[in-house]
Structure 1
Amino acid sequence: MDWQENFKKNIHLYFGEVGDAWLENLPKLIKYCEVKWSLAMNEPYSLSINYVAPAEMEDGRDVVIKICIPGNDFLDEVEALKLFRDKGMVKLIDYDINNGILILEKLLPGFTLAKVEDQDEACGIAAREMKKLITPAPKDSRLPTTKAREQNLRKQVDDHPYGVGQIDRATMDRALRIFTYLNDTIEHKYLLHGDFHHYNILSSGVEEWTVIDPKGLIGEIEYDLIQFMLNKLPEEDAYKVIKRRCDIFTEELNLNKERLLLWGYCHTVLATVWSVDMKDGSYNKSFLKGIRIFENLYESEFGKKQDPTSR
């Protein structure tokens, strides 16, 4: 089949030979879906690292088929979808663990929150959707915690003793200290989406919205908002936009602003590191700018000399 070029590149980049073999077998998986669930697959959406396409069931219902490479990430998503059920999350209709397949409700009209141009309006919608999602962490769960993100940054520090791309070692060390401090001082843990941003919030009716694509994570609500604050930033006035988003989330969700800004700083360092292409040195410039913005916001709110890791 003639796969989208970016889709093929991503599959090879992230999964190597395993991904190449999965891609070769994908036509059979698509046919398997059509036979098992008596449905007709339509042309896929714009693809990243999963095959996602609308389909019509034999009884006329419209659904979305998501085919993933089986593994821990897929299992985490299945668990998160179950745990978030009836809390503003897209409904999981059926799934196939062995083949990495999800059958999901189709949301209409289905455009993303990124289409809402007014920044305050979009952030207010996101805050309301996050409020629906807020769920205490399950007692027994396979889902990773934010400690895993800290450990990922620690590995990056160990692997890159002189820094990564535009991020120097001192910045990585400071981010790692803050990550450790925050994880060690969490008082209440919650079930988190893990990738909450504009493109994972879809319109599902008149003035109605539904969240999709949870990665599944355990931690503080403040951490789950950082990816949203880094997304869809303007070229100019990014500081003003992030500050405003921080104020709206803090007020609407009754959050700890200090911890929100600290999570913002350390996660943004990690996100920027993840974005660096080791072959050509390119990186996400918006994320890099976000590091300084979170640092400046913290200094403005809580004082330049304050260091929470030394308490």
Structure 2
Amino acid sequence: MMAGREGGKPPVAGGPARHIPVLLDEVLAALQPKAGETIVDGTFGAGGYTRAILGTGANVIAVDRDPNAIRDGQAMVAEFSGRLTLVPGRFSELDTHAAGAGQLLVDGVVLDLGISSMQVDEANRGFSFRQDGPLDMRMEQAGPSAADVVNEIDGRELTRIIGILGEEKRASAISRAIQEARKTKPFSRTLELADLVERTIGRKPGKATHPATKTFQALRIYVNSELGEVVEALAAAERCLKPGGRLAVVTFHSLEDRIVKRFLAERCRVHSGGSRHLPEADVLPPTFTFALKGAVEPGEAEVAANPRARSARLRAGIRTENPPRDGARENLGAPNLPTFQTLGG
């Protein structure tokens, strides 16, 4: 998530030249799209993966929760008339979106879990700690914003959010500083928060990473329920992939990569539904086989051309003919954090 989901290869239509997909060749090799097949791109963004998949002759059902991505993608819809369906919505419901487009089962699903460079680069979206803008961070441009979270959430929970989702060691100090500052004036701008974090924990000499990086990451993940969305999206992909269909997921952060890794590990092995002391328990057959051994990472040339790609990892699986498992109660290692509404925000 942190690296930005666009970076590294040829320019794509639907945005400026800087918006280019990470691990494009490797994703195509994992998906193996063919003419006449249907692939779901659950994270359309600037359309980098979608355009490459369409170039193979396959059809694409593309989903994005960001209204700007849907708006900017209409030119590509017109260009590939009849072969690209662009749907506003969350990738956690990609099976529903595919069915709505007339495809109960599809040949492939690709998920690129990083935040789009378009979102980071637009100051008014509030994702950037380097540009001043409203403290927003909402991908759907609806619901509670990052400002709401920072100004209203209980200090103990704010510490957990920053510490768990941002993996920030100084989460307690940052949370205390936020709580003290918001008594005087609520936070409304990105640089207000970024400057406070920098004053609180300082900047290490020679370190390029901004001190507010992890705090902003945590707030963005929380505001958009990103890890829960990943869990639901994997289950949705399992439900709508044909036998032999392929799943390719690009992650940018250890928390989401752990979820994808655990999902594939669970689904690629025979799993007992009960205790080893209960031999009569149902045995769950594998719903995927591994398409790749472990994770694929970008090469030195791609990272040099696009530093945002440095943390990217690709994992992939191939759907078996066994029925999908009930994933309603699993979280695959996603942190258990209360929602903003639950906390009374």
TM-score tier after normalising by the smaller chain length: under 0.3
- TM-score, scaled relative to structure 1: 0.27
